[in-house]
Structure 1
Amino acid sequence: MKFSAKLIWKLVTLLFFAGNVLLLILIIISGTTQHYPVNRFYWVEADTTGIPNASTLTRWTFWGACDRVNDKTVCSQNLSPAYPISPVDNFNTHENVPHRFISERDAYYYLSRFAFCFFWIALAFVGISFILFILTWVSGTLLQVVFILMGFGCVFNVCAVVLQTAVTVMTKSAFHGDDRHSKIGASLMGIAWASVFVSIWEFVSVAFWYTSRKLREYYEGSSLTEKHHNNFFHRDNEPLNVPEPLMSPDAYSPVPNINMSNDNNGPMINPSGVTNNETLGSPNLPIVQEPITTPLPAVVPAEESRHKGINFFTIRRSHKPNPDDVSV
C-alpha cells in the first residue's frame, strides 16, 4: 500500500511537470499563429480608436500588439521579442494616448519586458527539471539537481506571472481612466496562474522526496557506523573475558616482604641490604629502622584499560636506594 501511494505521487508529479512545460509553451507561442486556440490568447484588449498607427481594437500578446478581427487575434509582421505593453512605444506617438502611459511609461515598459525574459528562464529551468525528474526513477542521485533547478524554475515562473499580471491590470486601469473599453484576456491569464500552481506543487514534491532521501541516508549511515564500531576490531560495548591488568605502565613493582625479625641472632638486614654489623660495628646496639613503604600498584579503571588491539605494558623498577632508609 505504501509503495502504491509513493508511485501514484510520483506519477502525479510527473504529469504536473509535463503540464507546466505545456502551459509555459502556450504562453510563449501566443501571438505567433492564427490557429485555434492560440488565436484566442492575449494579455489585455483595449480600445485604441483615434491613436495614430493603431487599429480600433488592439490585443497585446506575448510577442506584441495585434488586431482583433471577428474575435480572433490577427498579428502583423511587427512582432518582436520583449515587446512592451506601452502604447507610446508601440505606436510611436503621444496623441490620444491615455495620460498614465505617458507619465508612468517606465513602469509599463520594464514590467512587461522583464516578464518576457522571466518566462523564458522559467521554461528553461522547468524543462530541464522535467527531463531529469524522469531519470531520477533510474538514478536517485539526480534528485538533488532536480531540487535545485526546480527551485529556480519556480521562482522565475512566479515572478514572471506576477509582473505580467501587474502590468496587465495597470494597462486595463489606464484605458478605463481615459473612458476607453478594456478587458483582460482570461484564457492566457488563467494559463499563467495555472503554471504558478503546478510549479509550486512540483517544487514542494521534489523538496519532499529530496528531504526524505537525505534523512533515510543519514539514519542508514548512522546504523552502518554503529555496526562498524561493533565488529571484531571495535568491541567497546562487549564485556571482555580476559582479566584486566591492575598495574599501570608507570607503577613500581611491589617490593617483596623482608622478614626483619632476628630470631636466630643472625645479622639483621636493613632495607638498604647492609647488615647491622657492617653498619654500626657493634651487634649490641639497637637498630632504628624506618618502616618499609611498599608502593601499591595503580589501579586502572576497566573503561580506560580497554584499548583497541594489543596492549603493551612496561614495568619499570627503581634501582636507586632511598637515602632515608640508611640506619642511624
Structure 2
Amino acid sequence: MSTDSDFVLYHYTPSKRAAIVFVVLFILMIVVYAVQTFNAARKASKIARYNSFEPSDDKIDDKTDDKTDDKSVIFENNDSKKKFKVLSTVCAFIPFFIGFIMEFIGYIGRVLSSSDPTKIAPYIIQSLLLLVAPALIAATIYMVFGRLLNAMRCESLMLISARFGTTFFVVGDVFSFFLQAAGGGLMSKKGSTKTGSNLITAGLIVQIVFFGFFIINEIRFSISVKKKCSFYSGISRKWFIVNATLLLSSVLILVRSIVRVVEFIQGFDGFIISHEYFIYVFDAVPMLLVIIAFSVGSFFGNVFDVIAECQYSTFSDSA
C-alpha cells in the first residue's frame, strides 16, 4: 500500500489478529511486572527501616580513641540513605516501563494500520515507537547492572572506571535513542526517507556496539565475581539471578537490533521489510521475552533483594 506521494508504507496488509495478540500480551506483562516491582521495592523499604543502623567509619574511629561502649556513638542512623538507594533503584525502572508502554502503543498502531494501511499516522506510531522502545529498556538494564555492582562492592570489575561505568553505557544508549528517533521522524517526510534510514541504521549500530561491550562486561563480572568481590561468600545467589536476567535480556535486544540493522541496510524493497513475520519473530517476541525474563527472575531474586541483603550483611558483619 502507498500514499499519494507513492511512498510505500507496507508491502502487505498488517495482520490485525497478530497485533491484537501482542497488545494483550504486552499490557498483561506490564501490569504483572509493575506489581512485582512495587512489592519488591516495598519489601526492600521495610528491610531498610527495620535495619536502619549501620556502622559509621568516623564513629568507629572515635570509639577506638575514646574507649566508649555507647552504641549510639558507634552507629549512626542511615535509614534515609538506605531509603534513597531503594528509591533510586525504583527510578531506574522508569525507562523500562516507558519502553514497554511504547511497545504496547506501537502494536495498537499496527492494529489501526490493519484497517487502513494507507493512513500515515498509525504507520508513524508503530514504526517510531517499536523502533526506539528497546533503547529505553536498555537504559534500565545498564542502570540495574550498575546498582548490582555497587551493592556487591564489585565496581572494580567494570571494564572502564567505576565512577563513569553506568554513565558511559547510558549516554551511549541515549545517543542511540536520539539517532533512531530523529531518523524515524525523517522517514515520515517526503524526500528525506534515505537520510532517515541512514540515521536509524547509525543509531542501531551504536546500540549494538554498546550492547556488545556491555555483554562482555556482564560475562567478565560473572566469571570474576567469586575471586574479586568480598561480598560473594556473604550473600545468597540472588545476584546471579539478577545478572542472568540482564544478560539474557541484553542478548535478546542485541539480536533484535542486528536484524533491524540488516532490514534498513536492505532498504525499503528489502526482503525483511517486505515480510511481516520478521517484525513479530525478531522484534515482538524478543521484546516480550525480555519482560517475561524480568518477571520470572523477580520470583527468585531481583536487584531490590540483593541491595537489601547486602545492606543487612554490612550491618551484621560489622556489629
Normalising by structure 1, we get a TM-score of 0.35
By percentage of residues, which structure has more helix? Answer: 2
- From the CA coordinates, give the structure whose radius of gyration is larger: 1
Higher relative contact order (CA 8 A, sep 6+): 2
Normalising by structure 2, we get a TM-score of 0.36
